[in-house]
Homo-oligomer: A and B are copies of this chain.
Amino acid sequence: MANGYKTKQRDTILKYMTDHQDAHVTVNTISDYLSEQGTPVGTATIYRHLEKLVESGRVRKYTVDSGTGACFQYVSEDRLCHEHFHLKCEKCGKLIHLECSFMKELSEHILAGHGFEIDPRRTVFYGSCRDCLNQETIETEEPTDV
């Protein structure tokens, strides 16, 4: 099935993704944005197109947490060969993109030394970001400790 029909919605979604290569976007984000732009696309259609894009490898799908929406990111050609990890702050929820040569070393070490090939698309580092670390220092104690 080649690539399906060329429709207005298909172009709209693909343009959105290529225009936001650096961002992790949810279906909601896309839907809202397109509505605001006057080119609304049905939610189901967005899901259906993203699914195809993920299958073809042009878009990556990140699942940060169940219960919350999945994040999608367009994969540009030149990033396909880079190691691209993510840092997720558990305090504020921020998602940080980590492009760093050190990570390449890490991958190589884990593979050579431990026989394990890391999939950067799936791997997320959990922890605390700079802002939240600073806030912790300021506050005497965490308000909630559950």
Contact = CB atoms under 8 A, between A and B. Distances in A.
Contacts of A19: none
Interface residues of A, number: 41
Interface in A84-119: 87, 89-90, 96, 98, 100, 102, 106, 109-110, 113-119
A1 B145 contact: yes
Interface stretch (A9-17, A35-43, A121-129): A121-129
B126 A122 contact: yes
17 contacts: A1-B145, A51-B146, A66-B68, A66-B70, A87-B118, A90-B122, A96-B116, A98-B114, A102-B109, A106-B106, A115-B133, A116-B127, A116-B129, A117-B133, A118-B126, A119-B126, A123-B124
Interface of A: 1, 51-52, 55, 63-70, 87, 89-90, 96, 98, 100, 102, 106, 109-110, 113-119, 122-130, 133, 145-146
